[in-house]
Chains A and B, each alone.
Chain A
C-alpha cells in the first residue's frame, strides 16, 4: 500500500510551493465531506489505486477553487510543474513516475458562481511496497 506515502508527499510538495502557498495559504488539505467548501482552497483526494508487478499506480485528483481566473491558471501550472514529468522523480522522498492524466471543470457556470473550480488528475506510480529498498516480502 503506497497511497498514503503519495498523499503525504503531494501535500508537503504543494504546501512548499511558493505559487500554491501564495494562492491558497493554509487551505491545502485532503478533501472530505465534513469540511466546509472554501474559496480559495486546494483539496486532494485519492481516486483509485492498484498494483502491478513492479509499480503501484495511484490516481490523485486536485480540486482547485479560486475566485480569480489568473490564479486558476497559475495554480494549474504550478501543479503540473510539480507532478507532470517524463521520467521518474523523487517527490518528498518518494521515488515514482508522476504524469498528468486529465482535467475537468467543477463548476458549470463560473460567471454566475463567482468562483472557478477545476479538477486535475495525476497518475503517481511508486514502486510496490514489498519491493522498496530495505524491505523483504
Chain B
C-alpha cells in the first residue's frame, strides 16, 4: 500500500534524485550526439549549389549562382555554414535542452550575424539603396523536420 505521509514522499523524492543522477551522464552524451547530428545536417543543407540568379562576386570576380527563393542558401564564402554550432546541454530539473544554430560555441566558429541568418531563413526587406523584397531561403525549418525522426530514434535507442 502506498502511504502518502510526508516520510514516504521524501523517499520517493530521494529515489527520483538518484535516478536522475544515474540518467544524467547518459542523457548528456545523447544530447551531444544529437547536437552533432543536427549541426552536421545544417551544414549539409548549407553546402548545396544554387539554382537561382548568376552574378559576378565583386571581391573575387568569380561567377556565383545564388539560391532560388524557397531553396536553402547557396554557399558563397561559407560564413553562415561555418557559424553553425550548438550549445552545451542545459538541465532544468528533469528536462535537458540544447540550442543549435548560428553563432553557437560547439563546432561552429562562434561568429553570428543574426540579421543575415534571419533574413535568409524568413525572408525580409532590405532598405538600401531602395526597398527590395528578399524571399525566404529556409534552412532551419526543413532541417528540424528532417531531424525529428532521426533524433527520436536516437533517444529511444539510447535511453
Contacts and interface: CB of A to CB of B under 8 A. Distances in A.
B145 A107 contact: no
Interface SS majority for chain A? strand
Interface stretch (A15-23, A89-97, A109-117): A109-117
A119 B124 CA distance: 9
Contacts, number: 59
A109 B138 contact: no
A113 B145 contact: no
A63 interface: yes
A57 to B, nearest CB: 6
A59 B140 CA distance: 11
A50 B146 contact: yes
B141 A63 contact: no
Nearest to A119: B122
B131 interface: yes
Is the interface on chain B under 10, 10 to 19, 20 to 34, or 35 or more residues?
20 to 34
A47 B136 contact: yes
A77 to B, nearest CB: 20
Given A52-B149, A59-B141, A108 B133 contact: no
Contacts of A26: none
Interface residues of A, number: 25
A107 B122 CA distance: 11
A47 B138 contact: yes
A121 B69 contact: no
B12 interface: no
Given A48-B145, A113-B125, A121-B141, A108 B131 contact: no
Interface in B107-149: 115, 118, 121-127, 131, 133, 135-136, 138, 141-142, 145-146, 148-149
A61 interface: yes
Nearest to B132: A37
Contacts of B70: 45
A108 B127 CA distance: 8
A63 B127 contact: no
Given A48-B138, A61-B122, A106-B122, A37 B133 contact: yes
Interface of A: 31, 33, 37, 45, 47-50, 52, 57, 59, 61, 63, 101, 104-109, 112-113, 117, 119, 121
6 tightest CB-CB pairs across the interface, nearest first?
A48-B142, A106-B124, A50-B145, A37-B133, A104-B122, A119-B122
7 contacts: A33-B69, A37-B125, A104-B118, A107-B127, A108-B115, A108-B125, A113-B127
